Structure 1
Amino acid sequence: MKSAQFQLHAAIEESHWWFTAKRKILHSIISEFTPQNSGKRIVDIGCGTGANIAALANEYECTGIDPSADSIDLAKKRFPHVQFQCGDALRDFQDSIQKADMILLTDVLEHIEDDRTFLTKLIGVMKPNAHLLITVPADISMWSKHDEHFGHYRRYDRVSLEKQWQGLPVTSLLLSHFNSRLYPIIRSIRAMNRLLRRTSGKSGTDFCVPLKPVNFLLTQIFAGETTRLLKEIKTPGQKDLPCGTSLMAVLRKNPTS
């Protein structure tokens, strides 16, 4: 990501419907696997400007890691109560990863050219029974300048994402589309933007904060998907929706034999 995009994230991630609803969903999913106020450690790899991990800091011991000095500087200024570390997570901060009960990898894998190798190394460092929560953009037909400006290598489908951990010592506890309710609208907007060779927001992205009533409504619609995701976790075999702008996976590292 470019400096201008980090600045944009910092400016809108505490108010824009996509960010706020996603945090509500993440909070519920994380709580399902990692009890609150129990001294559990969460590490957010690729934490960006810090709002996701900061939202968990009252209930968990939290650390955010990002290779961008610009993003970490912004995160430290905005959330001084959270520990942030600047560097390569696997090279510089393996100790933090080894101690974590939950690793967050939210909208990060698409930025990594060799995603399979990265995930293999990460899971190798994690302690047994630790959880890994992954989110990625879905549906290659939604590829647009938004993806290009954010430096994405790809968008995923269920098969291509699941391949990343096949044969690794983990158990899949959830693999599901989300942001499904708004998918038809967002897909149509992306298609129109491709046709007109434009984006809908600032700094080459589709991010802009709509009017407050619209922003509130979109937040409620997106965050309302939490119930379905929790049901999928609690009811193995529950059928996933066929589409969504994103995919979420939760993995648990297998106990040592």
Structure 2
Amino acid sequence: MTVLPPGTLLQLMYLKERIKTMRPGRFVEIGPGAGHVTALLLDCGWTGIAYDFEPSTVAAISARFHKEIESGRLRAETKNWLAIRLAEPVELVISCMVLEHFDDAGERSFIEVAKRNLVPDGVMITIVPGSSRHWGIEDEIAGHFRRYSDVSARALFESAGWVIRHTAGLTFPVSNLLFPLSNFLVKRAEARKLSLSMVERTKQSGIRTVSMKTTFPSIFGLLLNEITMYPFHLVQKACRRSVRAMVLYVEATPNR
């Protein structure tokens, strides 16, 4: 059994609630990482495509979801999202911890490509790092250009002709309490990555192995699961307007 970090669990629990309010359709996921969001969407009845420009990430996704790929419910491809024009638009474009890896021009292109690949009433969901005061070594190692706030995310999307449907700060206060420990673990395990280019850091950020940060002994599954984390999920929902939340959820639709 894969044991997920507390912050990842909280993000997925919130995303699951939002996805369940939508009618299942076709999705495109950019930067699937280990496939946690992919699994959630497939479990909720969606079909789609996962894109990443790192072949090893696509290979891992293909191995994890080989049955869904064989049945035609999922495709996994090594492609650059900024060059994608789908033959048929989809109902959902989704990315988790991806948009912050693009420079300003790339960030703008990212959401423009999303707009052209969505049906008229389609939705884009993006989950990004929040709270600029919490910029840390993990941002440097992962190849981030920025962290977001509700204000900056709204300005970005609205200036590009989108309508914000919903935003929420997530993982507060759990991630905040664990922040010093997280920085210590990341620095100890991954400081060598600071010598890599931004592109290489981004490529290696999809699937990371940092003991007690991204990977845990299986026994920790007794503590880290949706049941035990549910009270913290209620807290994050109650505090979703906190500017100190270290993760930001954004849901938007094109203004056509």
Compared CA separation, residues 150 and 55, structure 1 to 2 (3 A): same
Q: What are the Cα deviations for residues 174-231 of structure 1, in whole angstroms up to 9, with x where unaligned? A: 122111131440344357x39x9646995599434273343247633443357559xx
Aligned to 1:160: 152
Offset at 1:126? 2.5
Compared CA separation, residues 202 and 144, structure 1 to 2 (3 A): farther
Distance 1:50 1:67 in 2: 15
Compared CA separation, residues 138 and 205, structure 1 to 2 (3 A): farther
Contact kept in structure 2, 1:145 and 1:204, CA below 8 Å: no
Task: For 1:73, give the aligned amino acid.
Answer: A
Distance 2:250 2:223 in 1: 29
* 2:29 aligned with 1:28: no
Q: What are the Cα deviations for residues 22-67 of structure 1, in whole angstroms up to 9, with x where unaligned? A: 22221211222x214xxx1111111123231122214111221111
- After alignment, is 61-70 or 121-130 more displaced? 121-130
User: Partner of 1:95: helix, strand, or coil?
Assistant: coil
The TM-score with structure 1 as length reference comes to 0.75
Task: For 2:147, give the aligned amino acid.
Answer: R
Aligned to 2:163: 171
* 2:89 aligned with 1:103: no
Contact kept in structure 2, 1:145 and 1:205, CA below 8 Å: no
Distance 2:170 2:12 in 1: 13
* 2:222 aligned with 1:209: no
2:110 to 108, 118, 122: 118
What 5-or-longer segments of structure 1 have no aligned partner?
1-10, 230-238
The TM-score with structure 2 as length reference comes to 0.75
Offset at 1:251? 0.4
* 2:234 aligned with 1:224: yes
Distance 1:197 1:60 in 2: 38
Contact kept in structure 2, 1:18 and 1:222, CA below 8 Å: no
Task: For 1:109, give the aligned amino acid.
Answer: L
RCO comparison, higher one (Cα < 8 Å, 6+):
2
Distance 2:77 2:40 in 1: 17
Contact kept in structure 2, 1:17 and 1:218, CA below 8 Å: no
User: Partner of 1:27: helix, strand, or coil?
Assistant: helix
Contact kept in structure 2, 1:65 and 1:89, CA below 8 Å: yes
Contact kept in structure 1, 2:165 and 2:251, CA below 8 Å: yes
Residue pairs, 1:86-97, within 5 angstroms: 86-91=78-83, 93-95=84-86
Count of aligned residue pairs for this structure pair:
227
- After alignment, is 245-254 or 205-214 more displaced? 205-214
Contact kept in structure 1, 2:114 and 2:124, CA below 8 Å: no
Aligned to 1:49: 34
RMSD of Structure 2 on Structure 1 (CA) = 3.1
Contact kept in structure 1, 2:176 and 2:246, CA below 8 Å: no
Compared CA separation, residues 249 and 225, structure 1 to 2 (3 A): farther
Contact kept in structure 1, 2:89 and 2:117, CA below 8 Å: no
Aligned to 2:250: 249
Compared CA separation, residues 105 and 214, structure 1 to 2 (3 A): same
Q: What are the Cα deviations for residues 127-154 of structure 1, in whole angstroms up to 9, with x where unaligned? A: 3111001110111222222222211112
Task: For 2:223, give the aligned amino acid.
Answer: V
Residue pairs, 1:234-245, within 5 angstroms: 240-245=241-246
Distance 1:197 1:173 in 2: 37
Compared CA separation, residues 218 and 111, structure 1 to 2 (3 A): farther
Compared CA separation, residues 197 and 88, structure 1 to 2 (3 A): closer
